[in-house]
Every structure is written in structure tokens, then in C-alpha cells.
Structure 1
Amino acid sequence: MIDDAHDLGELKVLENKARELKTRKVQQLGELVIATGADNLTADELAGALIVLAETTDAGKREAWAKRGTAWFQNKSRRSASTPDRDHGGAQTPPGGAQPASGGTGAT
């Protein structure tokens, strides 16, 4: 009985942690959309572009998008570092995370 209560407590902690991680991911993705200027797109346009990105299997296109995203994050980091009074809690994502969905290369 005590083990069951302990297991339920651990499960609750894990569920809360998973919820927090999901909330943080959603917030970061929203911040990324805003930071890239993609918030000027309609929800339908943004969803369509993201679907094309997710469905694309062309390694060359994906690599080009990743390079563009990496350059964007590096440029953003340099601008933030040169402006110390700015908030640094922006939409930083780990390498390999979501890439900007801004127009341009190969979203066909």
C-alpha cells in the first residue's frame, strides 16, 4: 500500500515535469515565431509552411534551412551580446531544434 502511494507520488511528479517541459517548448516555439517575424503570417500560412517543412525529405533543402537557422541564431546572439541591457530569455532553442519557418529557400 505504501509503495503504491509512493509510486503514485512519483508518477504525479513525472506528469508535472512533462507538463512543464511541454509548456516551455510551446512558449519557446511561440517566441521563435515572433522573433523570426513569422507572426506576421496568418495561422493558415504558418501551418502550411510548417507542414511543408515537416514533410520535406530532401536532405539538401533541410541542410540549407538548418544553415540559415544556425546563421540567424548566431547573428541574434551577437546582437544580444552587443546590447547588454536586453532581455536574454528569448527563443533560444538547442541545436537541432525548431528552425525558423521564414520564407525563401525551397518551401515548395
Structure 2
Amino acid sequence: MRKPRDYDAELKALEDKARELKTRKVQQLGELAIATGADQLSTDELAGALVAIAETKDDGKKEAWAKRGAMFFESRPQRTVLAPQRNLRGAPAQSGRPQSAASGTGSE
């Protein structure tokens, strides 16, 4: 006889993972605001700018902003891991891997 699934435990684990991802996203957005200097703007100014960007339908403007953002990240010095990370699988640690505050890939 098969052991019954514990749906409550699985649901709790998924909720915990969703909360962790949301926390990471908020932290990365804060880091991005600081890195770009947007933390110097008032809350109203920053909110207004973000609303205007979100409402923009002009693909040319969006593409220009995307290029400018890419240039921003390319021009910044890459952060490196200060202490070597242990990799338990035996492969050498990647100590010079660039890290982006806005990576959002979920691979961390």
C-alpha cells in the first residue's frame, strides 16, 4: 500500500518557497534602486517615473531604455566573491563569477 501524500506539507513548502522568492525580488529591486542612484529620488518622484515607464507603449523607448540598462551593468565593475565557495561535488569554486543585483534568474 502506498503512503498517502501530505498535501498540507507540500502546500506549506510551496508557500514558503513563494515567500522566499518574493523576499529575494524585493531585496534585488532595492539593490537596483541603490545601484542606479534612484534611492536619492523622493518616493513620489520614483513612483511617478515607474508608473510612466510601465504605461509606455512605445517599443522604441523601451528598447532604448533596455540598451541603456545593459550598458549600465556592463560599465560597472563586476563584484567577485571574496571568500572561495566550497563546492561539495568536487568541482573548483567559481570565485570570479559576476553577480548582478537585478539578475532575477532564480539561480542563486
Same fold (TM over 0.5): yes
- Look at both structures and tell me which one has the larger radius of gyration over its CA atoms: 2
What's 1:12 paired with? 12
What's the C-alpha RMSD, in Å, of the aligned pairs? 2.4
> Is the Cα–Cα contact under 8 Å of residues 33 and 39 in structure 2 kept in the other structure?
yes
Q: Alpha-carbon deviations, 1:10-67, whole Å to 9, x = none?
A: 0000000000000000000000000000000000000000000100010000000000
CA drift of 1:94 comes to 4.4
CA distance in 2, matches of 1:12, 1:69: 37
Please give the alpha-carbon distance, in whole angstroms, between the structure 1 residues aligned to 2:17 and 2:24: 11
- Deviation of 1:92 (Å): 3.4
Bigger RCO of structures 1 and 2 (CA < 8 A, at least 6 apart): 1
Kept after mapping to 2: 8 A contact 1:31/1:90: no
**How many residue pairs end up in the alignment?**
88
Runs of 5+ unmatched residues, structure 2: 83-97
In structure 2, the CA distance between the partners of 1:26 and 1:36, relative to structure 1 (3 Å rule), is same
Q: Which runs of 5+ in 1 are unaligned?
A: 96-108
Q: CA deviation at 1:91?
A: 1.3
Q: Which amino acid aligns with 2:101?
A: A
The CA deviation at 1:75 is 1.2
> Is 1:44 the equivalent of 2:31?
no
| Percent identical residues | 58
Between Structure 1 and Structure 2, which shows a larger proportion of helix residues? 1
TM-score, length basis structure 2: 0.72
Contact residue 29 and residue 102 of structure 2 kept, 8 A:
no
Q: Distance in 1 between matches of 2:4 and 2:19?
A: 24
Answering whether residue 90 of structure 2 is matched by residue 92 of structure 1, we say no
